[in-house]
């Protein structure tokens, strides 16, 4: 049994337009990366093809922040065969496991001058940029192997921005270096300085960008709308069929949910200093939960509930699991122990959703 060939659009050779959507969450990107190693294993097992990779099996991948970085990794082309994915799910996970502690490393001087992120960003972007350059080199957005949607926010124009491979292929002003796309989507306020994003059309147009998590930490709804738009504006693809939501299947991955709460007594007298840290998490988690509710409701309302699979979990649910107990849900705790706990959390999530993952792979990815 072989996986159906993916194409930039729903064609006569496949039944579903398959979308992978990955939330933002800093170092917690280890969680969806770990889940996807299990998804990739399931795909390979069912097809008897050990060369298939995540990027080969979806028609579009969407990501925000850390999810945007993963999107770039999964869709990077193989140097020998540019139509196929270069990196495996394990390679994507290793980006975090091997580089996370350096990306989120603060010198004593940086801790002093940043006042813990109040007076300046907490981390230098130097190691993040070095890691992205090592992975992507001078790869261009238009060279990714499938359509994508990666979120960022333009602070100069006060508007959301979507990096899309399919637009980059036909519009030079929408083409960027992949490493710059990954840097822009992950420029989380207070963690890293904003990014300057400049397209490759040789016209000076650098724009200041911050993390897309400020408006779409869960990009599933954005991806669904973009898939519908893609089929309207890109009729150049041979055999492209009109796309209905009933022909879409979405695998949506979260980066874990905090279980900490703020009581009335604790928070009623907070000012800016008190709310500064929890407010970012509240906004990002609230947006992610709202999008999940919206997309679930849309799919359920047209009778295709199972075509949307959301995988996420609360950290507190595993407090008695010795492999996970003590996990820190901060977006920047990249200690070796915490990264291992995040990986185990992702592996446990995949185990908990094993039946749903197997069904999704069989019924939608390989259909």
What's the chain's average pLDDT? Answer: 90
Which bin fits 202, alpha (ψ -120 to 50), beta or left (φ > 0)?
A: left
pLDDT digits (tens, 9 = 90+) for 83-102: 999 999 999 999 999 999 99
pLDDT at position 360: 98
- More confidently predicted of 162 and 8: 162
pLDDT at 367 over 90: no
The region that residue 190 occupies, defined by phi over 0 for left and psi between -120 and 50 for alpha, beta otherwise, is: left
Across 229-252, average pLDDT: 77
Lowest-confidence pick of 35-44, 152-161, 262-271, 337-346: 262-271
pLDDT of res. 43: 98
Name the band, by pLDDT with cuts 50, 70 and 90, for residue 13: low
Asked whether residue 116 carries a pLDDT value surpassing 60, the answer given is no
Q: Is 88 left (phi over 0), alpha (psi -120 to 50) or beta?
A: beta
pLDDT of residue 16: 94
Check pLDDT > 60 for residue 109.
no
Domains of the chain: 17-259+282-365 (3.40.1090.10)
pLDDT at 110: 42
Averaged pLDDT, 203-212: 91
pTM score: 0.92
pLDDT value for 112: 38
How sure is the predictor about 241, in pLDDT bands with cuts at 50, 70 and 90? low
pLDDT in the model for residue 322: 64
Among 336, 298, 108, smallest CA distance to 221 is for: 298
Mean pLDDT of 208-214: 96
pLDDT given at position 113 = 40
Higher pLDDT, residue 296 or 108? 296
pLDDT tens-place string over residues 292-345: 999 999 999 999 999 999 999 998 876 667 678 889 999 999 999 999 999 999
pLDDT digits (tens, 9 = 90+) for 17-75: 999 999 999 999 999 999 999 999 999 999 999 999 999 999 999 999 999 999 999 99
The pLDDT score that the predictor gives to residue 55 is 98
Burial class (CB in 10 A: 0-12, 13-18, 19+), 257: middle
- Per residue, what are the HEC states of 154-195? ECCCCEEEEECHHHHCCCHHHCCEHHHHHHHHCCCCCCCCCE
Give the residue-averaged pLDDT of 251-261.
Answer: 89
Encode the chain in three state secondary structure: CCCCCCCCCCCCCCCCEEEEEECCCHHHHHHHHHHHHHHHHHHHHHHCCCCCCHHHCCCEEEEECHHHHHHHHHHCECCCCCCCECCCHHHHHHHHHHHHHHHCCCCHHHHHHHHHHCCCCCCCCHHHHHHHHHHHCCCEHHHCCCCEEEEEEECCCCEEEEECHHHHCCCHHHCCEHHHHHHHHCCCCCCCCCEEECCCCCCCCCEEEEECHHHHCCCHHHHHHHHHHHHHHCCCCCCCCCCCHHHEEEEEECCCECCCCCCHHHHCCCCHHHHHHHHHHHHHHHHHHHHHHHHHHHHHHCCCHHHEEEECCEHHHHCCCCCCCCCCCCCCCCCHHHHHHHHHHHHHHHHHCHHHHHHHHHHHHCC
Q: How far apart are CA 273 and CA 278, in angstroms?
A: 10
What is the arithmetic mean of pLDDT over 255-265?
86
For the ranges 184-193, 195-204, 345-354, the lowest mean pLDDT is seen at 195-204
């Amino acid at each position: 049994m072989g996986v159906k060939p993916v194409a930039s659009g729903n064609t006569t050779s496949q039944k579903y337009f398959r979308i992978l959507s990955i939330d933002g969450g800093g170092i917690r990107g280890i969680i969806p990366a770990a889940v996807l190693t299990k998804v990739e294993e399931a795909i390979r097992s069912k097809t008897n093809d050990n060369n298939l990779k995540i990027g080969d099996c979806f028609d579009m991948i969407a990501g925000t922040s850390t999810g945007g970085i993963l999107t770039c990794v999964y869709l990077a082309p193989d140097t020998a065969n540019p139509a196929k994915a270069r990196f495996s799910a394990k390679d994507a996970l290793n980006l975090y496991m091997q580089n996370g502690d350096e990306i989120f490393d603060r010198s004593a001087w940086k801790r002093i001058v940043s006042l813990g992120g109040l007076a300046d960003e907490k981390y230098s972007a130097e190691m993040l940029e070095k890691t992205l350059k090592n992975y992507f080199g001078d790869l261009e957005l238009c060279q990714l192997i499938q359509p994508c949607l990666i979120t960022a926010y333009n602070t100069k124009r006060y508007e959301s921005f979507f990096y899309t491979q399919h637009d980059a292929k036909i519009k030079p002003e929408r083409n960027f270096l992949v490493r710059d796309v990954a840097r822009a989507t992950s420029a989380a306020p207070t963690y890293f300085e904003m990014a300057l994003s400049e397209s490759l059309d040789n016209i000076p147009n650098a724009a200041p960008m911050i993390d897309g998590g400020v408006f779409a930490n869960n990009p599933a709804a954005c991806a669904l709308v973009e898939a519908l738009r893609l089929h309207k504006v890109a009729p150049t693809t041979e055999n492209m069929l009109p796309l209905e939501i009933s022909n879409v299947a979405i695998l949506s991955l979260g980066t874990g949910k905090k279980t900490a709460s703020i009581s009335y007594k604790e928070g009623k007298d907070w000012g800016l200093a008190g709310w500064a840290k929890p407010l970012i998490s509240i906004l990002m988690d609230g947006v992610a939960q709202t999008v999940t509710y919206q997309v679930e409701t849309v799919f359920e309302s047209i009778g295709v509930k199972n075509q949307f699979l959301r995988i996420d979990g609360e950290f507190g649910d595993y407090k008695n699991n010795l492999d996970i107990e003590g996990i820190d849900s901060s977006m920047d705790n990249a200690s070796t122990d915490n990264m291992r706990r995040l990986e185990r959390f992702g592996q446990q999530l995949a185990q908990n959703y094993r039946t749903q993952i197997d069904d999704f792979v069989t019924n939608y990815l390989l259909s």
